[in-house]
A and B are shown apart, each in its own frame.
Chain A
Amino acid sequence: MSEKLANNSDASPLETVGTHDARSLAALFIPLALLGIALALVPLRLGDSRVLMGVAVLGLTYGCYTIGFNVIFGSTGQLFLCVGALAGIGGYGAAILADTAGLAIWASILLATLAAATIGGLLSYIAVRRSLGVIFTGIVTLIFSLAFEALTLGLGEWTGGDTGLSLRAGADTFLQERIPPYYLMLALLLSFLLIHGLLRRSHIGWAFRALRDNEVAAELAGVDVARYRVYAALIGAAMLGLAGSTYVFTEGRVSSTTFGFGEVDIVVLVMLAFGGIGSLFGPIAGALTFTIIDEALIQFGQLRYVAYGILVIALFLWMPRGILPTISSFWRRARGPKQNTVAKPIQSIE
């Protein structure tokens, strides 16, 4: 999508965000390590405040969601408007498994993650089978989101309805201390980034780019478009489920707004669009920026959304590819024509 929207800018339509990565693994590990170190230092500043640490944990969780959504939407162009629902299958599933069924926390997280991945894969399979376009995939998954929300409200004896559940499992463990949840979510975030980074370098990532840039051409070149779409949905949905279920245990409670459409999906979409759809580190840039802005503007209450609205509009009008790719292509241009990578489809096939 990012390329399609970029058609009106000066960027070549063939230029893709993914193909600029240097081939060496260092280009993946060095930024990842720097990001890890920078984020690991955050509790040194904020560690005294339980509230701020809560905000930071939530920010990391949204970062994880955004990576999962990026794997599905950014890599293969499937507009899954059920990020909250998939994370909620993980979250509610793990909460119910641990509290009602009495499973160990790790086992319930594992099972709930598998459930989220299965459903995500299934949704993708249906969308691929019926060859739904971007908009229709969006609508069907939006309907799924609404059905999930209705279910969580309706199945009151399982989910606690509007008030939600307070979890007994994990209540007196490290999961609900002040600092450890932060590092747990950070580890999750970094491993998601690593997985996505490695994925992009593998043949799967190559297939993703091919089918996103031109579906028909990819199919003709022998890429099984349907299969790779389902792969992306499986991986992304597993990430969402894992992040959602882990978050529920660190928070100690889950309610209908924890995974609501307005609370999760729209925010994640804005975060990804801000950071750069399809770029590796874009989701982190988006999630961090929005968490900080949101915390800074919290005193303005509902009026914050006016600022977000203006931001979203400005973003899509002037940098439809997102802030990171725009800055990096500006940077490349500034460094001179030698580094100026215009469309190089041949190199990316090598």
Chain B
Amino acid sequence: MIANILDGIVLGLQFGLLAAGLTLVYGLGGVLNLAYGQMAVISAIVITLALSAGVPVLLAVALGLFVGGLAGLILDLTILRPVYRLRGEPRVLLSLLLTLGVSFIIDGFLNWRYPLETLSLRIPGEAVEILGVPMRRGSLIASAITLVTFAALFGFFRYTSLGRAVRSVIQDQEGARLVGIYPHRMLRLILVLSGVLAGLVAVTRSMVTPVDAQSGLSITVFALIVTVVGGLGNVAGALLAGIILGIVSVIAANLIGTYISLIILLAAAALTILIRPAGLLGVKE
């Protein structure tokens, strides 16, 4: 049981990280970015190319994250401009449809140009025992990266004035503008951040399963599900939802079987949405 829960937490942290970038952009900008998984794939391909060119691992990863952030910036400067002019549900819908188009473009290009490039950052070394359970090093390092990332995110939002400025925009855009914060600048910052987070998703995921040009859609879809279960726009909710869904998924996989476990995971997500449409930690509007 302990093994199940630990494995579940490892998977859950992955899920949580997956959702973090998506949920931030939604919470701050009312933008649902369906090209999120493709941004992760871009980072993965950049890292793969850099590694095969002989760049050291850490530098390659840094380059991948930089390109992820750049992708976010480009999205903000181009395709999202018309979206920012709308409000409410039309805004979400237009953002969703336009970024769907972006995801086609990225997917099509990457599948055409780099169909075989696959990122899998294998961490060598023996399994490490935690509470008597042997854990793979790759999963542990991925989890550590995720935890550090979340700690940094929480710290940023709680203790830095820039982070507080971002939160103030989430709470009340007009109010934030009145006290001298530019909502659009905050939004741009968050899009860059979400691109970097997408890059991190590619890195941590590739320590456990390979990431290639076809991975985009499934990353986006799972990120979306975890985001909604956690409560749109809620980073802590994303982490909580990720961990719960991870544990559910691992326990179901060990008790029953693999494909049923996916269905149980999906059913759990659907039930949460139906029972609490605002998400686990969401606040009803």
Contacts and interface: CB of A to CB of B under 8 A. Distances in A.
Interface of A: 1, 4-5, 7-8, 126, 130, 132-136, 139-140, 142-144, 146-147, 150-151, 153-154, 261-262, 266, 269, 273, 300-313, 316-317, 320
B277 A132 contact: yes
Given A301-B112, A305-B111, A139 B225 contact: yes
B108 A309 contact: yes
A142 B98 CA distance: 18
20 contacts: A1-B90, A4-B90, A5-B90, A7-B86, A7-B90, A134-B89, A135-B89, A135-B96, A136-B277, A143-B225, A147-B262, A153-B259, A154-B257, A154-B258, A262-B217, A305-B108, A309-B104, A311-B101, A312-B104, A313-B102
Contact of B94 (A134, A305, A316): A316
Contact of B105 (A7, A135, A305): A305
Given A154-B259, A313-B101, A316-B97, A130 B92 contact: no
Interface residues of B, number: 44
B213 to A, nearest CB: 9
Interface string B255-285: 0011110110011011001100100000000
A317 B82 contact: yes
Interface residues of chain A: helix, strand, loop or mixed (majority): helix
A142 B224 contact: yes
Interface string B212-236: 0000010001001100100000000
A5 B93 contact: yes
B93 A309 contact: no
A130 B101 contact: no
Interface residues of chain B: helix, strand, loop or mixed (majority): helix
A302 B105 contact: no
B260 A154 contact: yes
A153 B263 CA distance: 11
Interface of B: 32, 79, 82, 85-86, 89-90, 92-94, 96-98, 100-109, 111-112, 115, 217, 221, 224-225, 228, 257-260, 262-263, 266-267, 269-270, 273-274, 277
Contacts, number: 126
Contacts of A7: 86, 90
A273 B97 contact: yes
Nearest to A139: B228
A272 B50 CA distance: 41
The 8 closest A-B pairs by CB, nearest first: A305-B108, A154-B259, A309-B104, A309-B105, A312-B101, A313-B101, A302-B111, A302-B112
B89 A308 contact: no
Nearest to B107: A305
A151 B266 CA distance: 12
Contacts of A135: 32, 89, 92-93, 96
Contacts of A5: 90, 93-94
Contacts of B258: 154
Contacts of B32: 135
B225 to A, nearest CB: 6
Nearest to B224: A139
Nearest to A313: B101
A144 B100 CA distance: 20
Contacts of A154: 257-260, 262-263
B34 to A, nearest CB: 10
A151 B108 CA distance: 28
Q: Among the interface residues A7, A261, A311, A313, which one has the most CB atoms of the partner chain B within 10 A? A: A313
A301 B257 CA distance: 36
Contacts of A126: 274
A143 B271 CA distance: 10
